[in-house]
Amino acid sequence: MITFLRTLSLFLLTSVKFVVGVPAAYAAMKMTFWELSAFSSISGIFGVACFVFLSDWLFKIWGNLKMKYFPPKETAKKRKVFSKSARRYVSIVRKYGLAGLALLTPTLLSIPIGTILARKFFPNRTKVFIYLSGSVILWAVAISAILHFPSLINFK
């Protein structure tokens, strides 16, 4: 039972915070290279699938909450205010497109943030899912290789 709960918690952690979950799974479960690559790929793709298919629902809920708690004022002109992070996300998407966003999602961004951003800018669910899944597999193999074969990275 404890092994199942540990595996489930590592699965869910890896599906949300990929760059934290893969080393944690390696440390806690002592998996081989292929097991760790498969485990992290499957859990990352599970996270991508959840957020790709739940994003429309999340956008709808967010819009309803904004209208309820921050209704538009009719007298004042509506002026968009962009934060520094929002400008950074938009510049990444404009410069590198979906492929660049997918490459950054598992490591620098988290899977939920990257997936929701990708769905916001690119409405094709299938394309977003394929790009992000490919990126998750790529990073899963890369991080697993770094953990199992540290001599691949020579910092001398």
Positions in the chain short of pLDDT 50: none
Q: For 32-60, what is each residue's pLDDT tens digit?
A: 999 999 999 999 999 999 999 888 888 88
CA distance 10 to 16: 10
- Residue 143 · residue 40 · CB < 8 Å: yes
Check the CA dihedral 87-88-94-95 and report its sign. positive
Q: Where are the domains of the chain?
A: 2-72+83-152
If DSSP codes are grouped into helix, strand and coil, which group holds residue 128?
helix
CA distance 49 to 40: 14
pLDDT of 156: 56
| pTM given for the model | 0.81
pLDDT of 131: 95
For residue 97, give Cα distances in angstroms to 31, 66, 91, 93: 35, 28, 9, 5
- Residue 40 · residue 144 · CB < 8 Å: yes
CA distance 105 to 136: 8
Pull the structure tokens for residue 86: 């929002």
pLDDT of 109: 87
Residue carrying the six token digits 């001599």 = 151
pLDDT of 127: 94
